[in-house]
Amino acid sequence: MKLVCPDCGEQKKLLYPADNLADRIFEGVYFDVDENGNVTQQPDDEAYLQQFNMPKFLQQARKDVAKGTELLCPTCEEYV
């Protein structure tokens, strides 16, 4: 997977809006997506997310990414 924003160019990661999985509990939370399609939680959110079944949510996010869900550029925060 190539991580390119039309406005900002090549990126090291893109962002998956976690509220795609659970609207209210993940509002404002983003998961990092790398060029291999790996999805990880951001370290700043770790304390909040430890109360949830994160393997389940991360697996669903990986499936969404594989299906082509739009991701956000971390620089301009526009969908790519």
Instruction: Kindly report the three-state secondary structure assignment for every residue of the chain.
Output: CCCEECCCEECCCEEEEHHHCCCCCCCCCEEEECCCCCEEECHHHHHHHCCCCHHHHHHHHHHHHHHCCCCECCCCCCEC
Looking at residue 29, its pLDDT comes to: 96
Residue 79 confidence class, pLDDT cut points 50, 70, 90? very high
Q: What digits encode the pLDDT tens for the residues 50-64?
A: 999 999 999 999 999
Lay out the sheet containing 39-41: strands in order across: 14-17, 30-33, 39-41
Query: pTM of the full predicted structure?
Result: 0.93
Give the residue extent of every domain in the chain: 4-67
Looking at residue 66, its pLDDT comes to: 95
